[in-house]
Amino acid sequence: MSSARYEYLLRLGDNALILSQRLGEWCGKGPALEEDMALTNNALDLLGQARLWLSLAAEEAGDGADEDTLAYLRDDREFRNVLLVEQPNGSYADTLARQFLFDAWSSLVLRRLLASSDPAIAAIAEKAVKEVSYHLRRSSDLVVRLGDGTALSHAMLQGAIDKVWPYHHELFIGDAIDAEMVASGIGFDPEHLKDEWLAYVREVLNEATLKVPAAGGWMPKGGKQGLHSEHLSKLLAEMQTLQRSHPGASW
Amino acid sequence: MKNQWPLWEVFIRSQHGLAHRHVGSLHAPDATMAVNNARDVYTRRNEGVSIWVVKSIDITASHPDDKAELFDPAQAKVYRHPTFFPMPEEVKGL
């Protein structure tokens, strides 16, 4: 049941699910009504994408799992999201920096998957890419405005970019699962996205008068293989508590 | 409140509507973000195909105190409504 395709779908679904949950934590606490709505819209888009990926993963597993059992009944070691998306929200600048780096990457991922040899995967990518294109436009616009805003907003956003920067490395590190997906024409080599991603991020950060952090340094990784930071288990405790304490509860 | 973003008025053209309609207002730092915010606040349920935003401060409005002189005189001029004139029976298709 643990086919490479299943693992691959979990990675796609878990990235969307965990980031959705993080953004959902802002609900009712956004710095302005408009931002609050935008973030929760973004969270709902990602939740919709997570449902599609995880439903497909459950189908692949074929062991009676469904999107809900995958979302609510797995432990942290069984989650396959990258470390970037589980990082805590922090300040609005931290949330925005995380979102911007993710959106820029995710839009490239989905564009690659449009050409997937797997029609179900290509179909989900086609739906998701429109949503993520808007997310990227929005997060890029905000990065430029806050970076090139006041001295305070500039300093906060630069600090946030510097803090979350190490987590981008993992996005571009392939493993055996990626290699198998490349071989079957389903997926792509993550390394091949890096130049395009960096060029885009550099362009936006330049416009925002922000510095691109120096290359190298700490490169945390392992999320894709299930080795997470302590933040994920706390997030899951909140996300899963209802289904864990009242199994099968529904509306 | 001094440091708040400026206020913008939002106009949305709906799927079948011909003209943009005023739907409400919102805060945004500039025009581009106002369009983004309008998309997120006012088109979540598939309401629109086009968005206009304009700074509220750029709208010149009539003064409520002028209501009487601006609008009352029109009340006495029923002949300005097309329905005031009887149509001959013979005219069809109007």
| Contacting residues of A for B39, CB less than 8 Å apart | 134
Band (pLDDT 50/70/90 cuts) for residue B63 is very high
Band (pLDDT 50/70/90 cuts) for residue B45 is confident
Annotate A114-147 with DSSP letters as a single string: TT-S-HHHHHHHHHHHHHHHHHHHHHHHHHHHHH
Question: A202: closest CA among A217, A212, A192?
Answer: A212
Cite the DSSP H helix spans in chain A: 4-24, 33-61, 67-72, 83-86, 92-113, 119-147, 151-164, 176-183, 194-207, 230-245
Distance CA A161, CA A202 (A): 12
Distance CA A150, CA B23 (A): 31
| Contacting residues of A for B33, CB less than 8 Å apart | 141-142, 145
Choice between A82 and B46, residue whose per-residue pLDDT is larger: A82
- Summarised one tens digit per residue, pLDDT across range A105-147 is 999 999 999 999 999 999 999 999 999 999 999 999 999 999 9
- Summarised one tens digit per residue, pLDDT across range A159-195 is 999 999 999 999 999 999 999 999 999 999 999 999 9
Contacts of A23 (CB under 8 A, 6+ apart): A39, A40, A42, A43, A46, A95, A99
Are B41 and A137 an interchain contact pair (Cβ–Cβ within 8 Å)?
no
Choose the weakest-confidence range: A211-225, A234-248, B66-80: B66-80
State ipTM. 0.78
A210: helix, strand or coil: coil
Let me know: does A162 contact A75? Beta carbons within 8 Å: no
Residue A60 has pLDDT above 50, yes or no: yes
Distance CA A229, CA A18 (A): 13
Distance CA A196, CA A106 (A): 12
Residue A1 has pLDDT above 50, yes or no: no
Annotate B15-52 with DSSP letters as a single string: SS-SS-EEEEEEE-SSHHHHHHHHHHHH-TTS-EEEEE
Name the helix (H) or strand (E) containing B70. helix B67-75
Q: How far is CA A237 from the centre of its chain?
A: 19
* pLDDT at residue number A228: 97
Distance CA A135, CA A51 (A): 18
Distance CA B20, CA B10 (A): 9
CA closest to A40 among chain B residues: B40
* pLDDT at residue number B75: 84
The contact set of A with B (CB < 8 A) is 32-34, 37-38, 41, 134, 137-138, 141-142, 145, 149
Are A34 and B39 an interchain contact pair (Cβ–Cβ within 8 Å)?
no
- Summarised one tens digit per residue, pLDDT across range A9-56 is 999 999 999 999 999 999 999 999 999 999 999 999 999 999 999 999
Average pLDDT over residues A81-106: 98
Q: How far is CA A176 from the centre of its chain?
A: 21
Question: A109: closest CA among A48, A226, A188?
Answer: A188
Average pLDDT over residues B32-57: 93
Give just the sign of the alpha carbon dihedral B79, B84, B89, B94: positive
Choice between A68 and B86, residue whose per-residue pLDDT is larger: A68
Average pLDDT over residues A214-233: 94
B10: helix, strand or coil: strand
Amino acid at A185: G
Residue ranges of domains in chain A, CATH in brackets: 4-245 (1.20.1260.10)
* pLDDT at residue number B2: 54
* pLDDT at residue number B6: 94
Choose the weakest-confidence range: A50-64, A73-87, B43-57: B43-57
Q: Closest approach of chain A CAs to the CA of B29, in angstroms?
A: 8
Residue B48 has pLDDT above 80, yes or no: yes
Q: Cα–Cα–Cα angle for A100, B37, A139, nearest 5°?
A: 5
* pLDDT at residue number B1: 45
DSSP code at position B76: T
- The angle, 0 to 180 degrees and rounded to 10, between the axes of the packed helices A119-147 and B31-42 is 130
Are B30 and A145 an interchain contact pair (Cβ–Cβ within 8 Å)?
yes
